[in-house]
A and B are shown apart, each in its own frame.
Chain A
Amino acid sequence: MSRYLYFIPITLFLIIVGFLLVGLGRDPHEVPSPLINKAAPTFRLPQLKEPGKTFSAEDMRGKVWILNVWASWCVSCRDEHPLLIDYARSGAIPIYGLNWKDKREDALAWLGELGDPYVLSVSDLDGRIAIDYGVYGAPETYLIDQTGTIRFKQIGAVTPEVWSNKILPLAQELNRQGTK
């Protein structure tokens, strides 16, 4: 028995090393969102292109859609942008934009220069709605289902892997369930 006691420290050490090793590979900026499987916060905000009109999360009831938080000052949004254009063109999931803490003219210029993947964008100029959504860095992307529940959140730019392995299959599954 006593000789096995010697293995306890080394075992504990290896367990700790295991935890640290996993920790090393993780991005500390990916904070798990408590909003997954919770109702998407409601909002009614003026549209970016036609400020006279508003758009609300409620308008999307019954649809699976994507809310993408972006800003013209956000560097990663620029990286993500061509992918969004592609995905929007594919027509798989409607993408709506939340223009976060931006200037209207800058945002419009950005869309003019790079193209507009969004069905429409809304302006959250002072970032209040973004706080409701727990946004702390753009871009962030939410997949919202027919009942207005957040099903997935991507912090940082959407990558082709995330799109084809997570967002797209989940959206297809949700749509299948919805049509039943």
Chain B
Amino acid sequence: MTRTVLLLLLLLLSAPFSLAKDAQPAGDDPALEKRLNNLSKELRCLVCQNETLADSQADLAEDLRREIREQMRAGKSDKEIIDFLTQRYGQFILYRPQVTPTTYLLWFGPFVLLLLGLLILFSYIKQRRDTIPDKPLTDAERQRAQELLSDADKEIA
């Protein structure tokens, strides 16, 4: 029993240490850190591919953040930094790939499909409208319908 309590106590005590490990070496310049953070939200961490570079704890992500920080200090624009990274890692590092001939399908494909679907839908509706003949009821039919409806009314009442 005392052993379990001791173990639990140890675990509790170790919590701050494990949390402390996550702290990032913050730069001295808050404006630059903010810019870094904004930019790295647009970038994919290549190790854990569904995480942004801003969120990732991977070693490579830290290296890349350091690289970006240094380039920002050197006065590079965001676009220059993105160009630097895409030259090395390809478009894949961007969460929003640039619109180039290779990504046309990616960007416009869904809209083309939507348009195609609408076209098919409209042509189908139009065709149906054309094939169903507009035939008004004859007087006899109208009277019969009237009778049926009034019968139904009586039954309900």
* Contact of A34 with B124 in the complex, beta carbons under 8 Å: no
* Contact of B88 with A31 in the complex, beta carbons under 8 Å: no
Partner-contacting stretch, out of B9-17, B58-66, B141-149: B58-66
- The answer to the question of B47 belonging to the interface, with a C-beta cut-off of 8 Å to chain A, is yes
- The answer to the question of B111 belonging to the interface, with a C-beta cut-off of 8 Å to chain A, is no
Q: Which residues B110-139 have CB closer than 8 A to chain A? A: 113, 116, 120, 123-124, 127
B60 nearest CB neighbor, chain A only: A136
Q: Which B residues touch A180, using CB under 8 A?
A: none
**Nearest CB in chain A: distance from B96 CB, A:** 16
Query: Which of B47, B60, B88 has the largest count of A CB atoms less than 10 A from its CB?
Result: B88
A78 to B7 Cα, complex, angstroms: 37
**Nearest CB in chain B: distance from A28 CB, A:** 6
**Nearest CB in chain B: distance from A129 CB, A:** 11
A29 nearest CB neighbor, chain B only: B49
Q: Which A residues touch B116, using CB under 8 A?
A: 12
Q: Which B residues touch A8, using CB under 8 A?
A: 120
- The answer to the question of B86 belonging to the interface, with a C-beta cut-off of 8 Å to chain A, is yes
A16 nearest CB neighbor, chain B only: B113
- The answer to the question of A82 belonging to the interface, with a C-beta cut-off of 8 Å to chain B, is no
Say yes or no: A31-B89 contact (C-beta < 8 A), given A5-B124, A8-B120, A136-B60.
yes
* Contact of B89 with A101 in the complex, beta carbons under 8 Å: no
Interface residues on B, range: 20 to 34
Q: Which residues B83-127 have CB closer than 8 A to chain A? A: 86-92, 113, 116, 120, 123-124, 127
* Contact of B90 with A131 in the complex, beta carbons under 8 Å: no
**Nearest CB in chain B: distance from A127 CB, A:** 5
A134 to B89 Cα, complex, angstroms: 5
A127 to B67 Cα, complex, angstroms: 10
* Contact of A28 with B90 in the complex, beta carbons under 8 Å: no
**Nearest CB in chain B: distance from A20 CB, A:** 14
* B46, B47, B87: the one within 8 Å of A34 (CB): B87
* Contact of A31 with B90 in the complex, beta carbons under 8 Å: yes
Say yes or no: A128-B67 contact (C-beta < 8 A), given A5-B120, A8-B120, A101-B59.
yes
A8 to B88 Cα, complex, angstroms: 41
**Nearest CB in chain A: distance from B100 CB, A:** 12
Q: Which residues A127-163 have CB closer than 8 A to chain B? A: 127-128, 130-137
A8 to B120 Cα, complex, angstroms: 9
* Contact of A136 with B46 in the complex, beta carbons under 8 Å: yes
A126 nearest CB neighbor, chain B only: B63
Say yes or no: A28-B49 contact (C-beta < 8 A), given A33-B90, A34-B86, A134-B88.
yes
Q: Which B residues touch A130, using CB under 8 A?
A: 63
Q: List 8 A-B contacts (CB under 8 A).
A: A31-B90, A34-B88, A126-B63, A131-B64, A132-B88, A135-B60, A136-B46, A136-B89
A contacts, CB < 8 Å to B: 2, 5, 8-9, 12, 28-29, 31-35, 101, 126-128, 130-137
A5-B123, A33-B90, A127-B60 known; 8 new pairs, CB 8 Å cut-off, are A32-B92, A34-B86, A35-B88, A131-B64, A131-B88, A132-B88, A134-B89, A137-B46
